[in-house]
Amino acid sequence: MADTSTRRIDYKEIKNTLYGVLLKNGFSKEDADICSGLFTDTSLDGVYSHGLNRFPLFIENVRKGFVKPDKQPTLKQSLNNFEKWDGNLGPGNLNAKFCMDRAINLAREYGTGIVSIGNSNHWLRGGAYGLQAANQNCIGICMTNTMPNMPPWGGKKTTIGNNPFIISVPHKPYPVLLDMAMSQFSYGKFEILREQGKMLPMDGGYNKDFELTNDPDQILESMMALPMGYWKGSGLAIMIDMLVAVLSGGMTTSEIGELEAEYGLSQLFIALDTEQLSNVGLADRIIQSIIDSVNNTNPIESGGNVFHPGEQTYLRRLENEKLGIPVNPDKWKQITEL
């Protein structure tokens, strides 16, 4: 997804720049440090759409008051290994990191920890909280709702969210990580391919006559992205909305859609401590054997690879650690001027 006109910038320079912008926009030093780290890590891992490239929109939402940099989550309910928090419209990535920290702590105490939050904000890259759990030897499961941005299967209007769903499993040298939204492709992907004059490799949305198409231009005209797996991703998106809204007491996708912007999201974070529920040696062997069975599958593409979830992200991280993080010069200029 890196643009051909990118330059590469060192991790520290990026993080320091974001840190400075956050300080100027009402973040405490501690929060600015964590928040700038999360944004930079996201670009480092090659998830460019939710790292630096989204930082200007994040700051715009802070300035408009949708994201409140001085707010912390407050506890609404605690029941054994379950906690329910109010996000008080604080920064979504800080709130999400906080919730996964709580889930991990509960998992240390009980074996498993389940934390919900309502009235929070876009968590940026969901995979970050999966990695956070996995790096503490916990299986992580995270889900969030979003504003309406996808039609339910068979429908003509975007009334469901593309509600991201994350599962992570601890492993060395890097965790196994699935981080997926419920749309087959992101709107960002449509924009990139349209600029390049390319078609999608398969249908990814509808044209204005509600016919499936692989033309990103037509999908951006209708703004009707296709759920992954057609009725299956549509169904999973609906269930995720129910789970996060019921368990947090927060807003549904439909309620978020009535606001002037996408804020006040509902989320769920689960941590399962593999040290207590399995044992690290056994878990490692099981995970490695599954990785091997996938990676050793003969590839369709001659000379290609069959990857397991999280592998390509890790390879991009290694490259970006070595060479610097690819940054679009226009976007970088925009960030330095924030």
- 50, 122, 171, 308: the active-site residue: 50
Residue of 103, 238, 271, 335 that binds a second copy (CB under 8 A): 238
Which parts of 54-93 interact with a second copy (CB under 8 A)? 77, 79-82, 84
Q: Is 50 a catalytic residue?
A: yes
Instruction: Please report whether residue 159 would count as binding a second copy according to CB under 8 A.
Output: yes
What's the closest the beta carbon of residue 33 comes to a second copy, in angstroms?
A: 31
Indicate which single residue of 23, 220, 243, 315 sits in contact with a second copy (rule: CB under 8 A).
243
The residues in 281-310 that bind a second copy, with binding defined as CB under 8 A, are 282-283, 286-287, 289-290, 293-294, 296-301, 304-309
Q: How many residues does the chain have?
A: 338
Is 174 a binding residue for a second copy by CB under 8 A? The answer is no
Rounded to 10°, the helix 11-24/29-44 angle is: 140
Rule CB under 8 A: which of 255-284 touch a second copy?
Answer: 255, 272, 274, 276-278, 282-283
Q: Does 4 bind a second copy (CB under 8 A)?
A: no
In angstroms, what is the minimal distance from the CB of 62 to a second copy?
A: 29
Rg, Å, the chain Cα set: 20
**Residue among 78 and 196 whose Cβ is closer to a second copy:** 78
If one asks whether residue 208 binds a second copy (CB under 8 A), the answer comes out as no
Interface with a second copy: number of residues (CB under 8 A): 76
Contacts of residues 28-35 at CB distance under 8 Å and 24 or more positions apart, as own/partner, are 28/70, 31/69, 31/91, 31/94, 34/94, 34/97, 35/91, 35/93, 35/94
Q: Which of 1, 57, 75, 242 binds a second copy (CB under 8 A)?
A: 242
> What is the bridge-based pairing of β-strands 82-86 and 112-120?
parallel
Residues in 15-44 that interact with a second copy by CB under 8 A: none
CB atoms within 10 A of CB 194: 16
* 59: enclosing H helix or E strand: helix 55-63
Q: Which is nearer to a second copy, 30 or 301 (CB)?
A: 301
Closest C-alpha among 196, 186, 259 to residue 228: 186
In the set 8, 64, 157, 333, which binds a second copy (CB under 8 A)? 157
Closest CA to 81 of 106, 98, 102: 106
| Residue 311 burial (CB count, 10 A) | 17
Minimum CB separation from a second copy for residue 69, in Å? 29
Interacting residue with a second copy among 1, 75, 239, 318 (CB under 8 A): 239
How far is the C-alpha of 165 from the C-alpha of 268, rounded, in Å? 10
Is 47 exposed, middle or buried (CB count within 10 Å of its CB: 0-12, 13-18, 19+)?
buried
Q: Footprint of a second copy on residues 103-122 (CB under 8 A)?
A: 110-112, 114, 116
Positions annotated as catalytic residues are 50
